Amino acid sequence: MARALQPCGTRAAYTRHCARREAIDDACRRANTLHQAAWRKRDARRKRLGELRQQLLFRQLLDLIAGECQKAGMLR
Ligand SMILES: [Zn+2]
């Protein structure tokens, strides 16, 4: 059974219009704009999280190295 088509004002309808090369109505254009804004926000948050994770791992690595150096008597 075919799935019901999403109505205008949804991202699905927007992409359908594009695929069929139909004119884009305001409701669908707005839905796409909102979708893109949300996506950009999520993407920025994801990147920031990735950077923080990287910084944390790097700090842990430095602590580990410092600890080993201390044990080996390399730091005074
Ligand atoms: Zn539409």
Ligand 1 centre from 36 Cα, in Å? 16
Tokens for 25, please give them: 């109505």
Ligand 1 centre from 61 Cα, in Å? 52
**Domain contains 4:** no
Q: Which positions ≥6 away from 52 have C-beta within 8 Å?
A: none
pLDDT at residue 3 is higher than 80 = yes
What's the pTM?
0.66
pLDDT at residue 76 is higher than 90 = no
Count Cβ atoms within 10 A of the Cβ of residue 14 and give its class: 0-12 exposed, 13-18 middle, 19 or more buried.
Answer: buried
Provide the number of structural domains found in the chain. Answer: 1
* pLDDT tens column, 20-68: 999 999 999 999 999 999 999 999 999 999 999 999 999 999 999 999 9
Ligand 1 centre from 7 Cα, in Å? 7
What gap in Å lies between CA 39 and CA 28, rounded to an integer?
Answer: 16
Find out whether 64 and 46 touch, Cβ atoms under 8 Å: no
What gap in Å lies between CA 54 and CA 47, rounded to an integer?
Answer: 11
Ligand 1 centre from 40 Cα, in Å? 22
**Domain contains 3:** no
Ligand 1 centre from 39 Cα, in Å? 20
**Domain contains 42:** yes
State which residues form the domain around 60. Answer: 11-71
